[in-house]
Every structure is written in structure tokens, then in C-alpha cells.
Structure 1
Amino acid sequence: MTSTTSQTALDRPIRAGGGTARVWRPVWAWLRLDLRRRWLSLLTLALLVTLATGVVMTATAGARRGASALDRILAVTSPATVAAAPNEPRFNWDAVRRLPGVEALGTFLLTGNFAIEGHPEVEVSSPAMDDEGMRTVERPAVLAGRLPDPARVDEAVVSPHFVETTGLSVGDTVTALLPTPAETDAAALNEEPISYSGPRQRLTIVGVVRSGWWLREPQDSPGGIAATFAFTEAYRENLVGATGDAAIVNAMVRLRDGAAGIPAFQQALDRVARHPVETLNVVADERSYRETTTFEAVGLAAFALAAYLAALVLVGQAVIRFVIGATADLDVLRTLGLSTRQATVAAAAGPVLASAAGVLAGAGAAVAASPLFPIGSAALVEPDPGVHTDLLVIVAVAGVTLLLVAVAATTTAFAASVRGVRPARPRGSAVARLAYRLGLPVPVQTGVRFALETGRAGAAVRPALVGAVVGVLGVLGSLTFQAGVADAVANPARFGQVFAVGSYVGFGGHDVAPADDLLRAAAADPDVLAVNDTRVDVATVERRPVTLFSLDPVAGHPPSIQVLSGRLPATPGEIVLAPGVASRTGVSVGDVLTVAGRDPAAGTPMRLTGLAFAPQDPHTTYDEGGWVSAGGYRALFTDRLFKFHEIRVEVRAGASASAVRDRLNAAVGADDAFILLLDDIPVDEQQRFRGIAVLPRLLGAFLGVLAVGAVGHALFVGVRRRRHEVAVLRALGTTRWQARAIVLTQAAVIAGVGLAAGVPVGVVLGRALWRAVAMSTPLIYAPPVAALALALVAPAVAVAAGLLSTVPARRAARLRVPDVLRAE
């Protein structure tokens, strides 16, 4: 023991016996002594538990919050069921309001608008054409301030991104710039761009709001502002034009039966209009958005689970290591009458108390970090941002963690106490024996033995090696997976989107632009790799509607569409489907399918020659369409029948798609809105990966920090446990610098084992996880390579090992040899 006073304090109650207080007095005396002696090890353990539980609580609570964000905002915003877009002037909305299934209807002006002085980048919400919007339908959640008074001309609400972009918030004022009636009429007839030389109106921002659909803003939005119906009434001619003949008003509609009432409403709406009216299924849009938020929540939950499992391994090893060391020190008291139960509680008490403190600190950290969540798309619909305490998560994680720590500590202490003072035989290492045979310096041999030799004195060996391997494996695996995520986010080709530039030159069977001139200009551009003259329409494949695209390359240069299996269609009797369509239809490559064009009864047999993703379009997704040859399209629809006529351009690798777009616009004398960057039509799944792109990096950082703490703790404990051997070597002539070299060699060997085992396993694990995600998304799998991580992992581990070994090495060099040998 360290002192006669401490020995007497512990020895007296053991001999006294009798009474519960006296029975446990040695335990409290030992705990006070242990806290003084090993406070640094217990503090390190508490910090590890704080980091682990704080991260897990934060991520789990964030996942729960993100998964429920859309449902929570829909519960308070009176959401629309459908948006009706007849896109024709003077539409009879009063008749639509009277339809039996309509519960609420709010109209908005599609043409005519105003601008905000000094902030041309912000988006102005379509002016309200009645007082129903923000009241009976799509009533937004208020994040700050209040909703505007519909009767006030000078009040407005803004979105959260507006606050971020402009720095303005509740109580500030902006100036609305309106066009003249003539300017609105000219813009509605596409005669000239809108300008704002009309009246000016001061608007006071009274609230910051958002809703689940109408006032939802994209990630990169500069923010928006919405005025009142009173504002529209005050400046009606400025907004709708002198006569209002060109003004187009559409509507948001909430149905009593929800999504189930949409078919009946559509039929009734068509009867009112006397022609088919385009509608947007808001419920389906919300369902798609919910899939995105759920994907992000699952990713965050997976991050929490991976972090917790890694923490159990590393923190569990630290707990066991501490308990074994305490039990060994208690062996002396066992000979003086300390019972097995007392020894078990005494050895386990320190780690359990340190873990309890760590759990409390972790819970506080989770609450403090809660304003950062939810992440990704869920953050755009969160109705209650700010500090949030998820008691269920905190109690569950805290309870499970303390239970596991208590079980691990007590069972380890009991097992070690039952063994008593019998020394464990050290288990040698083949590497240490090889170092001896090679005649390496004694400090090197000793350091290798300390790093690899197990047994009672080497109790810290296995935890240190496990910590190093798990750290390298976890960091490299996480960053390899992150490389796959980053590639998917930045590369639309992974989702089959090989066309970077395009234009809609025809709608509803009629071309509205000089398609032939554009095709020639695109084919002659030096940065263009391929041009496809694409016609799009909806066919019926095995009685299921499927959007088909014609494969009709210009100048014989086919686009580089990657086929997942099989080949592209070459004859009129062949078809390629996206894998999602093939899976839902139950067909496979080689099957003969019945495909019908506009007439469902006129089915044509076509052979499925392959599976490939289709272009992402406003009305279909990349995994829902299919390809046919130009001859196949003519057989189904003829060239004059199409829903859309599109020109799609594939750009050479390294070329600027923006430059190609600008040259094509100039070549055909069109404005910048004619030729589009097709990246502006995002793939939903690609957006989902953008929402979780940061998680693998955070997991890697978390595992790295946790591993550094675990290995550092192991080195500290290892030097203390090996102090007798180091003291003997010092007594035999080992210098202080040689004592330091022992610990440095030990750290270097541990780092080497971590690299040798962690690098290959981490790369394989990261790629396997990314392949599983790619197959389930789906997307085209490409083996991810974390090049920077691979280049830096060895030097980073070497530097970390050197820094971690600095303090233990100094302690080994400064051992008081006589005191250590006398105490032992």
C-alpha cells in the first residue's frame, strides 16, 4: 500500500466486524483512497462515457425528431390535399368551392408579382387571391412572431432562410416594389421581362413561418416573403393587369376525405372546367418527402447504433481494465480478511461512479446540442426548432449504459476476486520472442513485450490493441463509406443521369421551338459527347403505366447510358425498363412484355433486353421509366404523339455544362431560360444522400476520438501496472531515456497492429456497407476510395501514438525506484 495511515484506516474496520456500517466501511475507505490515487484514470473514463453517451443520445433524439418532423408540422398547418392548376384566366373557382368534397380552398395568383427593394434574390410568394390561405388551408407554423392580419396591407411573414439571407426578422421593415398594370400585362404575354416602376409599399415583418408544403423552402433557397390578401386587394391592378384577362389563378384545396377523395374531386373539377385539369397530389408529394426524412432519420439512427456499439467495446475494455487493476491491489486486503463481496463492490465502485458522472454530462451535452437537429430535409419542416429534451432517449441510454457498466464491473471484479492472489502466468508473444532472437535493444524488446504479452501484469494489452484496431477500422470504414456518399451526391450519373444540358422543345404533340436547329448546334459543339432527340410519353407495360423515352442519338453518337444488366434496345420490338419498374411488374431480362401506347387495347409484344435508369423528369423518377428505340417509339405512338419533346445533351468529361448551355442558347437566339442545366431537376434519392453526407465523417471523428481515449487510458494503466518491471530494469542500469523508449516502443507496436488489421478491414467494411446501400437505393455502385484518408492514416496514427505515449513515458522515466521496489 502507499502509506501506513491508509493501511491502518483500511485494516481497522476489517478486524472490528459486526454491523452493516462496519461491513461496508472498508469499501468506502478504499474508494476514497482509489479516487485520490487514480483520479486521472477515472476522469478519462468519465470523459469517454460522456463522449459516447452524449453522441448517442444526441443522434438518437435527432433521429426521432427528424422522423416525426413532417407529421408534426402537418398536424398544425391545415395542409392542402391537392393543388389545382387549370392555368387559364377567369377560372370559376366559386363553383369548385361548392363541390361536395371540398373542405377549404385558397386561391393564389400565378402571374404578376412584386419585388423587395434591396433584396432581389429573395422569393416572393404568389399573392393570395382570397383570405383562405394561411387561415383555413396551409396555415403555417409560427417560428417567431405571429401570423399577419389578413386585413392589413402593411404586414408580411417571411421564411427562416429569408432571415438568414437578409439578416432581417420580426419587427423589421422592407419595401415592396410593384409593377404598373401595363408592365404586368406585358410580362403575362411574354412580351418583355417584368419590371417594377409602380407603387411602393412598406411592409412590416410580423412573423417567421413555415408549412409542410406551401411555404416549405429548398435547402439552397434564399428565403421568401408572403403578403396578405389586403395587399392584393390594394394593388389588384398592379398584380393582375389592367383588365385581368391574362391573370392566371390556381388553388390549394383541402378535401374532407383526404387522399381518398382525390379521384372524385378530379372528376368533378374536370366537369367544372369542361376539360381535364392538371392537379398536383400534395399528399403524394408529402409521402415522398416523408420517405426522404425517414431515410435521413434511419441514417442518423444507424450512426447512433454504430457509435454505441463501438463505445461499448472501447469503454467496456477501459472499465474491465480498471477493475482488474483495482482487484489486484485489493489482493493484499483479501489476506487481511476483506470478503469477496466487499472486494467486488470496492473494485467496481470507481468505474460505476465515473460512468454515472459521464452519463449525466452526456445528457447535458445532448440537450445543449439539440438545436442543431433535425438535419437535412427534416430541418426544413421542423415546426418547433430550438432546445429539445427527449427524456425517453436520455433515460433509455443512461439506464442501459449504467446497467452494462455495473454488470461488466461487478462480474469482472467478482471473477478476479474469486481467483484471489494467485498470480496469472504471462502469455508470451511470438513477436516478442522474434525481437529477442534478432538481438534488438533491451528497451525495444521490453516495449514489444509490454505491447503484446498478456497476463495479470499485461491486463491492459488486449484493450489497447482492440482500441487501436477499432479506431483505425472505424475511421477508415466511415470515411470509405463517406466517399461513396460524396460520389453519389456529386455525380448524377450514379443515378443514370448522364445528360447535363437539355431543353423542352415540344409539349402535347406540338413543337414550340426550332428543334432541328438546336440538334444541329448541339451536335456541332466541341464539348458535346452525345445528343439524344428524346420523345416522352406514357405507355402501358403489363397493364402498368410507365413513362417511356425514345433512344434516338444524333449523328450516330449514342449516349453513355450505363446498363445495369442486358443491353439497350436496338430494334422496334425491344424495350429497357428501370429496375424499380421491372421489380414491381415482376419481369426479368429476356421476357416478352405486352406494351401499349395511347390505346391500351392495342398491345404490342416487346422483349425486355436490359435494365437501366431513365432520365429524371418533372413527372417521373429515374427508377420509374424505360427506354425504347426511335423505331419502337414510332410503333407505339408515332413521332407526332408525345407528352414532351426534349433535347438531351451529354457533355464531355471536364467540360463546363454552363458554357455549353450558353453557347446553345446563343446559337438558336434563345434566352437563358430555354436551354437548361438538367442538374436543376434533382433526383430525390440524391438529395437524400446530401442530407446525411456529414454523418460518416462525424462517425469517423467520434470513433477516432474514442479510440484515442481508450488507447491513451490503456497506456496510462499499463505503465502503472508494469511499474515494478520498469523499476527492476532501472535498478539494473536502464537509463531514463531507455525507460522512455520502452513506452514509445509499446505505443508504436500498438499503432502498427491497429494499422495492419484496421486498414484492410476498414476499407472492405466501408465498401461492403456502401454496396448494400447502393443496391437498396438503388444506384450504380462504384467502389469508393477514401484517397486522402488512406494517405494520412499511417502518419496520423503515428503522431497520435507518439503524443499519447508522451506522459506515460515521462512517468516511466521518473519512477522512484526504491519506493516502487519497497512497496512491491
Structure 2
Amino acid sequence: MSRPARSASCRCATAGSWPEAAMITKQGSDRTADSAPGPRPPGIGGPVAGLWRPVWAWLRLDLRRRWPSLIALALLVALATGTVMTAAAGARRGDSALDRMLAVTLPPTLVPVPTEPNFDWEAARRLPGVAALGTFLASGSLSIEGHPGVDAGSVPLDTEIFQTVERPVVLAGRLADPTRVDEAVVSPRFLEKSGLSVGDTVTAILPTPAETAAMADNGSAPVSFSGPRQQLKIVGVVRSFWWFRDEPNYQGGLETTYAFTQTYRENLFGTGGQGLVVALVRLRDGAAGVPAFQAALDQQATHPVDAFDVVKGAADYRATTTFEAGALAAFALAAYLAAVVLVGQAVIRFVIGATADLGVLRTLGLTIRQATVAAAAGPVLATTAGALAGAVAAAAVSPLFPIGSAAAVEPRPGFDVDLGVLAAVVGVTVLLVAVAATTTAFAASARGVRPARPRGSAAARLAYRVGLPAPALTGIRFALEPGRAGAAVRPALVGAVVGVLGVLGSLTFQSGVADAAVNPARFGQNFAVGSTVGWLDNDFAPADDIERRAATDRDVLAVNDTLVDVAEVAGRPVTLFSLDPATARPLPVPVLSGRLPATSGEIVLAPGVASRTGVKVGDVITVGRGPADGTRMRVTGLAFVPQDSHTDYNQGGWVTAGGYRALFSKGFKYHELHVELRPGVSAPAVRDRLNKAAGTGDAFYVLTDELPIDAMNRFRGIAVLPRLLGAFLGVLAVGAVGHALFVGVRRRRHEVAVLRALGTTGWQTRAIVLTQAAVIVIVGLAVGVPVGVLLGRALWRAIATSTPLIYAPPVATLALALVVPAVIVTVSVLASVPARRAARLRVPDVLRAE
């Protein structure tokens, strides 16, 4: 075979050798013989098989030549799709966990808590709408030897509970036999904390009847109980929403049987035989039946009976799990979009290189269709393999999900394969890569491979004018100009920018999340310690004495004497708090807009109330105890209020002490103290000191311990996600930049060979590639750092506004300090291998191939 004239197609040929190219095209020409008339021996393919023989021959050759690049591409795809599938499946699992739990556990609708002893629960069972009712002793006490802090005091008073209402799911073992006194079930946290397992035994220590009666009288438990001891065998690990849910900082729970209660009834109830008996009530109509049942229960008791609304509690908990699932889904979406950009560029870069190499075969008769399939086959196969590997990895880590609050209500923890998510991600990924690869290959094959039109860069021209050494100038051009070989320079630059931007943006956002998860001041809670000194118009003790002790403590900056009651604001019930400083320094209430009230005719509302009522700053509204008892007040601002047992920080309002008296006279629902501490002091230490001074153990409490903010728990549950996203984007960017450097040096091997032939040394060749890497670093840092910080802050501001909370610009100090050296070291390491390959290039072979 005579060698064709030198052409652009020949210049780009790297099929190994001319005999190999001739062999491939000869296999393509065999399709003519295959399609000729006459008998065909068995096993010989028809026209279709002959048509694609050159494609398979090229693919086998290409796999041998480019297997490192294809493996790198497959690993990138596996990392990207595995991460996305894991996050998406985890989000779906977490979002549905509570509903799946409620669907199988017969949850209560209400938990009535009557205050009188000997309440007639049998009559309550017969009330209309009751599907099941189980009672338990809420005031019981017992301890588990060697396991302090375990919740074991609430014991069942019938066999309905855990059978017809709040029947838990069994994670291991079985439910306890209600007729056995020596059996118990535990929550998963108990086993985690204790190191025990199903089948092990523990010892329950009960109080004497006198000790139980003494606890009821003075409200404090003895250091240890001196009553009977009962061996309990752990027969099961269970979970449910209301009873067996392991909350943060919870030591776990243990539940005995009805037989245990009957055996030790006197020890549990005390000498008086009276205790706080509470019921779990499941209504046939669910939440819709609550009003009728509540009215009937109030009529039976002849007074309003307070009740925990389990349906509302589930709705609030669902809001938390939905928030966490949404954050995980957003993580999956961000990861997939970043992967599409970075992996997509790697695929396109690979296809363009393969199309250029196929140019010589085009001159020998390879069709456009054959060239398109041949160029796209490698990336599509690598993507398919990587996506399947990612699916296997996602299934393997499924026992780690769901995360956050959903983990406490997952009815089926362990291995779980979400085939819908896996199939969707694998299918969409392979389809996207197939479309991108084939369209790119077809376009490149249709227009033919021509020498790239040189496109200069301003930076290279400036370097030339400055007189930089030839290796530095060439490295700058390699980084910013495609050259005659048409090398893609944007992928490496985009990869560096996306990596720096993604890592800094994620960690900046994470800084805001971490701050909100631990800092109650972001929710307007600038007071760390509180005290409830009165209830329903009566103080428990002289409030002035407790107030004075708090105000004179060395670590206290401000004390507010807060009266709390409920009024109608614009026709809706709103909890109002009085601003009444007990110290020279007033309580610092952060105002979101406007100002605090200064007169008795002014009021500040929480943003949630303003949004609910449609009230704006400056409006004059009617505030009063009822529709006929209203006072006109001007809204002077918006501010958060104290988190309380009956309301949250975003629902309420502030009035002056005079404004409170005008509305409520001297009455109150709660009388509280809110105490601001010096920065940096320990709130528990101040609480303990104040309680010691007050002569009691529970006069003061740490607000975040007694009255946790749901939003803080939500942020605590997702705090790890931005870090994981930053790590994912960083690793993906490293892979993309490394792939771009490897392929770029290979595409420019002719230019490097010419430079070597003209006298460039091996070390100068290394300097070219390292300079190219340095330019990539500079571009990545110059664009990625400011844009990443701005993007992270913009996203956090949006979250702060929607939560809501007080926005403070987050700063990822450690990330900002380490990003420059980390990027320099990473890219230098990535560039070292292609730099060494460029320095060891076999110049005669490269020039002979050209």
C-alpha cells in the first residue's frame, strides 16, 4: 500500500501504524464481499455484521491504547452517579420514613393528661369515635442497675397499650409477653449505649412505697432506691413515633410489661395509691375526630382536659424530616449538575480526540456513521460501567440512611435498594453521554478534521512582550490556546474553577449552617438562662428574690422580668411578652426591621405573626383579650420572641411593661425571667450557681436544653451535607483537571516533539507542563474564590430568609486559609505525571507518525 499524501487527517492519525489502519479498513471493505451473491459459509455475518466490523476492530484497538483514560472516565462516572444515587435514594427514604412508621404502628391521635386522680378511663373508652385507648403511669419511677439515665419509669396499666394502640415495629427479637413479669423491650439507643444485645438481662430497682410517696410530695428523687429488685430479660428491640423514638442526647428507653406493673403496683403508685395516669387514644377518624372527642372528654371531666396533639406533633416532625430530605435532594441535584459539566467535558474531549484519530481511516473509506459509532463507543461503554458500579456502591451504603431525624423513625433500617432511583440515574446518565458523544462525533466527522485555527490569548501575548523564557511562554499557550492540534483548554480551566468555587461555596454555606445549629442568638435568643417563677396569676415563690439573685450574679449582664399571656392580634391569638428590665442594661432584643416599642401604645410582632396576619411595620392594629376588648396599638417593628413551651421564636410579640398592664392588668399565664450572660461563660455553670443561691435545684434552666428550637435541630441534622458536597466537588474537579492535563499533553505531543527536536531539554519540557498547571491554578483561584464565597453567602441568605433567622455573613476561615496551598499542591501533583511523560516523549516515533 502506498502512503497517501500528507494531510490534516494523516497528521492526527494515531491508530498505531499504517498496517493496522489498512487492516481495519480492509475489514470494512469485506462487507462488499459479504453482501455479494452466492452461498455463505456458516458463521459468516451478513451485511450488517460486515458494516460494523471496522467499528469493533477500532474499539478493540482503542481500548488497548486508551484504557487508562477510559478507566479514569469510568471512575469519575462511578463517583458522580454513586454519590447522586446515594443522596437521592436517601432523600426519598428519609422523606417517607415517618409516614411508613405511622402506617404500621397504630399511632395515638391524642394523649389526654387529666390532672385529677382516679379519672374514669373506662368511661372514656366508651366515648364516640374511640378506636382504642391504652393507659400508662406517667409518674412511675424505677432505675436500671448500671445504666443511669435510661427512661424506664412510664409503665403500662393495661394490655391495650403496645397492642391496639402504639404497637411498635420490632427491629430485633419480639414484643414482650404482657403476662411475663421478667421480660422487657428496649429502644435501639439503649443497646448502643449499654453494649448489650437481645437475650441479655438487666436488673430493675424499684422504690419502696414510702419513697414513691415522698417523691410525689417534694418532687425530688432519692439518690438510690431501696425497694425490690427484678431481673428483666431483653426480648426485643422496638421503635415507634410517640413512645420508642430515640431523640438526640437520649440515653435510650426500656419498657416493662403489664404483669410487671401488677406485681409492683404499690411500689409504683406509692402508699397513697395515686399517680398521674395518662392515656394514648386512637380515634377512628384521626385528626378529624379530635374536636368531638375533646368536647366529650371535657364534658365527662366537667372541665377542659389538656391533651397532647400527636397528629400535630407528627406534622411538626414531618416538617423536620421533609426539610432534611429536601437538603439531601438539593445535594443530589447540585452534585449531578456539577458532574454533568465536568464529566461531560471529559467525554466530549475524549470523543473529539478519537474522531481526529479516525481521520486517517476516513480517507481509506470509513463512513461517517462508522466513525461516529467508533468514536462514541468507548466513552459510552466506560460510562455504562461506571454508572453500574455507582449503583452497586449506592446500594452498599444504603444501611447508613436515612440520616438526621428520619433515622429515629425509620421502620425498616438496614439494606434498602431504591430501584427507581438507581434505574433513573443510570439510564439518564448513559443516555446523556450517548447523545453528547454521538452528536459530537457526528459533527466532527461530518466537517472533517482540519487544523485548528490558532487562537491567541492576551496573557500569552503579554508574556511574549515581557520576555518570559520559552518554557514559560509555551506553558501559558498550552493552558490558554488550543494550538494547531485543537487541544481543548477549557475543560481544565472549568474544572479548576468549578472545584475551587464548589468547595469554597459549600464550606461557606456550611459555616452558616454550623453557626445556626449551635447559636440560639441567630433565632433572637440572646438570653441563655431562664426561670419560670409563676403560672396562672400566681408566683411559686417571691419572684423579687429570684430576680435579685440573678441580677447580682457576676456573669449576668441583663435580666428581663417577663410576663406572658395570650391576646388577639388582628383577630388571631398571639402570645405577648413584656419588656421590663430588672437591670440597668435592658435585654438585647435584635430587631429585624423598625424598632422596639417605647410606649404603652406600641407593639413589635414576630415575622411569622406579621406574615400570618398581613400586618406591616407602621400599621395600627387592634390588640385585646377578645373581639369586644381591644386596644389600638401601632406596630413599630419586627423581632423574634423567646422560645417557649407554648409558642416558638417566630410566633409572638413584644410590648412594654405599661402596654402589658393595659392589656392584661396584673394577670399572666406565665411569669418568667430571661437572663443574658457575659460572652464566653458557661451557661450550665451559671445555672447551677443561681440554683444553689436560690436553694433549689430547678429554679433556673438553660433555655436551649429545656426549650429546644426545632430549626436548630434541623440544621444540626444537615450540617454534614455541605461538607460532603464540597468534598465531592473537589474530588470530581481533581479527576476532571487530571484527565484534561493527561489528554492535553497527549494531544500536543507533536508540538512537544517539535520543540524537543529544536533543542528543548527534558527539564524545560517539564517546565512547560508545570507552567500550564500554574496558569490553571491562577485562573481557578482568581475566579473560584470570590465567586464561591459570594455564591455560598447568597444561598445562606436565601435559607436565612426562608427559615427565618438573623443573617450573619458566613466565613469559612479554614477553607480560605488552605485553599491556595491546597490547589497549588493538588494541581502540581496532577501535572507531575504528564510532565514526566512529556519529558520522556519518543520524539522520532511521534514525528514519524505525523
TM-score (norm 1): 0.98
1:632-651 alpha-carbon deviations (Å, 9 max, x no partner): 11111122x11111111011
Whether 1:647 and 2:676 are equivalent positions in the alignment is no
Aligned partners of 1:160, 1:720: CA distance in 2, in Å?
56
User: Does the 8 Å CA contact 2:150/2:253 hold for their aligned counterparts?
Assistant: yes
Taking a change above 3 Å as real, the CA distance of residues 244 and 656 of structure 1, as seen in their structure-2 partners, is same
User: What is aligned with 1:29?
Assistant: 57
Residue of structure 1 aligned with 2:475, choices 447, 451, 465:
447
Whether 1:674 and 2:699 are equivalent positions in the alignment is yes
Residue of structure 2 aligned with 1:703, choices 729, 733, 739:
729
State the AA in 2 paired with 1:283: V
Which deviates more, 424-433 or 341-350? Answer: 424-433
Deviation at 1:4, TM superposition (A): 4.8
Whether 1:3 and 2:17 are equivalent positions in the alignment is yes
User: Does the 8 Å CA contact 2:134/2:161 hold for their aligned counterparts?
Assistant: yes
Which deviates more, 89-98 or 717-726? Answer: 89-98
User: What is aligned with 2:9?
Assistant: none
User: What is aligned with 2:683?
Assistant: 657
Aligned partners of 1:270, 1:413: CA distance in 2, in Å?
77
Whether 1:579 and 2:604 are equivalent positions in the alignment is no
User: What is aligned with 2:720?
Assistant: 694
1:699-754 alpha-carbon deviations (Å, 9 max, x no partner): 00000000000000000000100111111111111111111111111111111101
User: What is aligned with 2:827?
Assistant: 801
Residue of structure 1 aligned with 2:771, choices 727, 745, 759:
745
Residue of structure 2 aligned with 1:295, choices 303, 323, 327:
323
Aligned partners of 1:217, 1:581: CA distance in 2, in Å?
32
1:231-270 equivalences under 5 Å are 231-245=260-274, 247-270=275-298
1:652-706 alpha-carbon deviations (Å, 9 max, x no partner): 11122122212211221111x2210001111111111111111100000000000
Aligned partners of 1:337, 1:433: CA distance in 2, in Å?
42
Residue of structure 2 aligned with 1:473, choices 501, 507, 510:
501
User: What is aligned with 1:222?
Assistant: 251
Aligned partners of 2:488, 2:233: CA distance in 1, in Å?
66
State the AA in 2 paired with 1:108: F
Q: Which runs of 5+ in 2 are unaligned?
A: 1-14, 33-46
User: What is aligned with 1:629?
Assistant: 656
User: What is aligned with 2:792?
Assistant: 766
1:128-147 equivalences under 5 Å are 128-147=156-175
State the AA in 2 paired with 1:86: P
State the AA in 2 paired with 1:99: L
State the AA in 2 paired with 1:811: R
Taking a change above 3 Å as real, the CA distance of residues 192 and 353 of structure 1, as seen in their structure-2 partners, is closer
Q: For residue 136 of structure 1, give the secondary structure of its aligned residue in structure 2.
A: coil
Taking a change above 3 Å as real, the CA distance of residues 441 and 191 of structure 1, as seen in their structure-2 partners, is closer
Percent identity reads 72
User: What is aligned with 1:607?
Assistant: 634
Deviation at 1:321, TM superposition (A): 0.3
1:294-314 alpha-carbon deviations (Å, 9 max, x no partner): 000100000000000000000
Q: For residue 17 of structure 1, give the secondary structure of its aligned residue in structure 2.
A: helix
Aligned partners of 1:797, 1:161: CA distance in 2, in Å?
42
1:358-379 alpha-carbon deviations (Å, 9 max, x no partner): 0100000110111111110011
User: What is aligned with 1:792?
Assistant: 818
User: Does the 8 Å CA contact 2:21/2:361 hold for their aligned counterparts?
Assistant: no
Aligned partners of 1:632, 1:217: CA distance in 2, in Å?
43
User: Does the 8 Å CA contact 1:582/1:588 hold for their aligned counterparts?
Assistant: yes
Whether 1:167 and 2:192 are equivalent positions in the alignment is no
Aligned partners of 2:469, 2:79: CA distance in 1, in Å?
39
Deviation at 1:211, TM superposition (A): 0.6
Q: For residue 190 of structure 2, give the secondary structure of its aligned residue in structure 1.
A: helix
Residue of structure 2 aligned with 1:201, choices 230, 237, 241:
230
Deviation at 1:555, TM superposition (A): 2.5
User: Does the 8 Å CA contact 1:296/1:691 hold for their aligned counterparts?
Assistant: yes
User: What is aligned with 2:141?
Assistant: 113
Q: For residue 621 of structure 2, give the secondary structure of its aligned residue in structure 1.
A: strand
User: What is aligned with 1:60?
Assistant: 88
User: Does the 8 Å CA contact 1:595/1:603 hold for their aligned counterparts?
Assistant: yes
Whether 1:157 and 2:185 are equivalent positions in the alignment is yes
User: What is aligned with 1:14?
Assistant: 28
Q: For residue 421 of structure 1, give the secondary structure of its aligned residue in structure 2.
A: coil
Deviation at 1:77, TM superposition (A): 0.4
Aligned partners of 2:364, 2:20: CA distance in 1, in Å?
14
Aligned partners of 1:206, 1:26: CA distance in 2, in Å?
67
Aligned partners of 2:21, 2:209: CA distance in 1, in Å?
97
Whether 1:728 and 2:754 are equivalent positions in the alignment is yes
Q: Which runs of 5+ in 1 are unaligned?
A: none
State the AA in 2 paired with 1:611: L
User: Does the 8 Å CA contact 1:162/1:222 hold for their aligned counterparts?
Assistant: yes
Deviation at 1:242, TM superposition (A): 2.2
User: Does the 8 Å CA contact 1:141/1:383 hold for their aligned counterparts?
Assistant: yes
User: What is aligned with 1:323?
Assistant: 351
Aligned partners of 1:207, 1:470: CA distance in 2, in Å?
50
Aligned partners of 1:793, 1:198: CA distance in 2, in Å?
63
1:356-375 equivalences under 5 Å are 356-375=384-403
Aligned partners of 1:8, 1:227: CA distance in 2, in Å?
83
Q: For residue 324 of structure 1, give the secondary structure of its aligned residue in structure 2.
A: helix
1:99-121 alpha-carbon deviations (Å, 9 max, x no partner): 11211111111212111111112
Which deviates more, 587-596 or 311-320? Answer: 587-596
Aligned partners of 1:569, 1:105: CA distance in 2, in Å?
49
Residue of structure 2 aligned with 1:528, choices 540, 556, 560:
556
Aligned partners of 1:560, 1:514: CA distance in 2, in Å?
25
State the AA in 2 paired with 1:502: G
Aligned partners of 2:848, 2:181: CA distance in 1, in Å?
90
Whether 1:817 and 2:843 are equivalent positions in the alignment is yes
User: Does the 8 Å CA contact 1:104/1:136 hold for their aligned counterparts?
Assistant: yes
1:248-300 alpha-carbon deviations (Å, 9 max, x no partner): 11111111121111122222111222222111111001000000000001000
User: What is aligned with 1:780?
Assistant: 806
User: Does the 8 Å CA contact 1:88/1:249 hold for their aligned counterparts?
Assistant: no
User: Does the 8 Å CA contact 2:97/2:411 hold for their aligned counterparts?
Assistant: yes
Taking a change above 3 Å as real, the CA distance of residues 44 and 125 of structure 1, as seen in their structure-2 partners, is farther
Deviation at 1:459, TM superposition (A): 2.8
Deviation at 1:456, TM superposition (A): 5.8
Deviation at 1:9, TM superposition (A): 2.5
Aligned partners of 1:393, 1:138: CA distance in 2, in Å?
32
Deviation at 1:514, TM superposition (A): 2.8
State the AA in 1 paired with 2:350: F
Q: How many residues align?
A: 820
Q: For residue 207 of structure 1, give the secondary structure of its aligned residue in structure 2.
A: strand
Deviation at 1:526, TM superposition (A): 2.1
Deviation at 1:524, TM superposition (A): 1.2
User: What is aligned with 2:375?
Assistant: 347
TM-score (norm 2): 0.95
Aligned partners of 1:735, 1:123: CA distance in 2, in Å?
76
Aligned partners of 1:421, 1:268: CA distance in 2, in Å?
85
State the AA in 2 paired with 1:3: S
Q: For residue 218 of structure 2, give the secondary structure of its aligned residue in structure 1.
A: coil
State the AA in 2 paired with 1:410: T
Residue of structure 2 aligned with 1:499, choices 516, 520, 527:
527
Aligned partners of 2:120, 2:148: CA distance in 1, in Å?
34
Residue of structure 1 aligned with 2:121, choices 93, 105, 117:
93
User: Does the 8 Å CA contact 2:487/2:748 hold for their aligned counterparts?
Assistant: no
Aligned partners of 1:600, 1:91: CA distance in 2, in Å?
35
Aligned partners of 2:25, 2:541: CA distance in 1, in Å?
99
Which deviates more, 2-11 or 115-124? Answer: 2-11
Whether 1:389 and 2:417 are equivalent positions in the alignment is yes
User: What is aligned with 2:12?
Assistant: none
